Structure 1
Amino acid sequence: MAAAEHVILKDEMAVELPSLPPNQGLEAFKDIIFGSTAGIAGKFIEYPFDTVKVRLQSQPDHLPLRYSGPLDCFRQSFQAEGIRGLYRGISAPLAGAAIENSSLFFSYRIAQEALQATIYSPTEPLPFSALLFCGAASGAFTSLLLTPVELIKCKMQVPASAGQKPPGPLSLIASVFRHSGLFGFWRGQMGTLIRETGGSAAWFGSYEGVSAFFRRHSASPTADGSSPQLPIYQQMLAGAAAGVSYNFLFYPADTIKSRMQTEDVSRLGLESRRPTFFSVGKSIWQQHGLKGLYRGCGITVGRSAPSSAFIFSIYECLRHYFG
């Protein structure tokens, strides 16, 4: 008997249990495969710019700035290490991109279905405020999976000291565990949580908002009344807007997270009190003001537009043809 047909009789009153959508396992598998594919493609596009961003963010407060800006950082990095240096440490981010995007799309869909099963009608589209909530919920869930991956990624992106061989991911994992234990992999979780919760609400919200605008003004409804498939250029414009919103609005949280994750774990392990998310943010503010919290933001927003455009368009195309 289907779940929707189960009825509990109590005190002569019938209570119908909410039904779950069919084929949840298949839909989850599609979210994982399609989201992972889109995320990996986007990561290859944006990674050199992300390396520059992390190196700008992780410059210590007590030393003169090593880089005067994104172009200077790119120039110095390329001269010292070549293009390979800009892609150093990409193995962890590729895994992170697959995890992040599959988790985001999966949990975003699950959150929508949960709201439609409990609060809203399953036959009506969710209001924009509900979509923002679903985006925030998906980001909060994803942050738990993403923080350990980003911790290793950020440490690999920081340039090694002169004469030293850059550490590999396995040696960094062993070092973090040795000095900070299992919970050391979630150092910077507060920054990731703030960035992903607010950023994912902005990410999905911007995409849904721009897509709805295009549907109202340029797309004709389908014969069955469902939402029409937007042209590829409109999907990419909506995705680009999503990427810009995600990165700009909550960028200071990412700066603080990167600073925390790139500190020397051996030194931190000997301290009686480790700097917290808020103390690191206060230190950056006192040293450099708002400009310090947004250091590297320009290049991050610039690379996020094409990256998110490809992520959404690839995911939507896969969903359209194989969903």
Structure 2
Amino acid sequence: MEPTILSDAATAPVQVSRRTAAVEAFEDIVYGSVAGIVGKYIEYPFDTVKVRLQSQPDHRPLQYKGPLDCFRQSIRADGFLGLYRGISAPLVGAALENSSLFFWERIGRAAIYASGYAPREQPLPLSALWMTGAFSGAMTSFILTPVELVKCKIQVPGKGEAGAPTAHLKPIPVIRDIFRHQGLRGFWHGQLGTFLRESGGCAAWFGSKETVTKFFRDWNDRRAAASGIPNPIKDDDPLPLWQQAIAGASAGMSYNFLFFPADTVKSRMQTTPIGELASGAMPQRTFAGEAAALWKQAGITGFYRGCGITVLRSVPSSAFIFMVYDGLKKYLPMQ
């Protein structure tokens, strides 16, 4: 039995189905988690470099000249596996993030249909799909901020009194440290940056993917009509793998590039050592205060440190996330 709303055929009419909303929600959670974990393993070394480039403090000389220099210094200091430092928390975060994104995106679609904006027997327009992506990202940001806070503090090694790197941090001690110094509220430090990045970025993530998917479906139809041969790819069939990959890759690049400055400010906020905040050695800046300090230090280019490598790693990561998710939804539907 096919799902009520097909991810790879969002612009196709909704299929009438006896499957319950609970089953579809469970699919979103399980398959979104699997897809997120696959994507995280692909992108994590690049994400580590990105966070280290973003979080260079404004009151010290820059430690890294660029992505390649950061890779060299990181591998020299910790080996290649050091780039996977702290991946346990991000794996949990990736599972939570992607399952939440697909779950809330489906809820957003259902809400738009329920509002009467579009008849249920017709596909949603692309403008509505960009809106459901923004809604999904906004809701997910509240789940994601604590996970990213822990991840960022593990990825960026702190400095001791003599300037030497401190011991490698682990998730549980970091969680305890945050709670001891800042309480429960401290886990949402940097929430505004996550909210801006996720709501805007996920509008682009889902919207770009569906826009490119629609382009390929129309293109396949035109090619079939020109050749006089019926198009073998139906509306509820997945696209060829190379077309799925391009659609997913375009989604990742759009997500990461358009709202990268918000992510940079968030990373700087979240990598400030807790001890320095607690002792008053460093002020706990607001989002606007951190952005102003970065502008004063480096101007507009400071907001895009690590952007190139982030967009590059999003190509395979996002492509695999959508391919795995759509493939599981299509070929392993839960009854």
TM-score higher than 0.5: yes
Q: Structure 2 stretches of 5 or more lacking a match?
A: 1-16, 225-229
Contact 2:181 2:278 in 1 (8 A): yes
Structure 2 counterparts to residues 1-323 of structure 1, below 5 A? 22-119=19-116, 120-161=118-159, 162=164, 164-219=166-221, 226-271=235-280, 274-323=284-333
The CA deviation string for residues 176-232 of structure 1, in whole angstroms up to 9 with x for no partner, is 001110010000000000000000000000000000000001156889974432111
Q: Which runs of 4+ in 1 moved over 6 A?
A: 220-225
Distance verdict in 2 for CA 1:267–1:224, change over 3 Å = closer
- Normalization by structure 1: what TM-score? 0.90
Structure 1, gaps ≥5 residues long: 1-19
What's the % identity of the aligned pairs?
A: 58
Deviation at 1:110, TM superposition (A): 1.1
Deviation track 1:48-105 (CA, whole Å, cap 9, x = no partner) reads 0000000001101111110000000000000110012100010011001000000001
Conservation of the 8 A alpha-carbon contact between 1:222 and 1:228: no
CA shift in 2, pair 1:258/1:21, >3 Å: farther
- TM-score, normalising length: structure 2: 0.87
Q: 1:116-157 deviations in whole A, cap 9, x for unaligned?
A: 122221111111111111000000000000000000000000
Instruction: Report the Cα distance in structure 2 between the residues aligned to 1:21 and 1:194, rounded to whole angstroms.
Output: 37
Q: Distance in 2 between matches of 1:166 and 1:99?
A: 25
1:242-269 Cα shifts (integer Å, max 9, x gaps): 0000000000000000000000112223
In the alignment of these two chains, the number of paired residues is 304
Equivalent position of 1:5 in the other structure: none
Give distance in 2, aligned partners of 1:91 and 1:21.
38
- State the superposition RMSD in angstroms: 1.9
Which structure would you say has the larger RCO, counting Cα contacts within 8 Å and 6 or more residues apart?
2
Contact 2:150 2:175 in 1 (8 A): yes
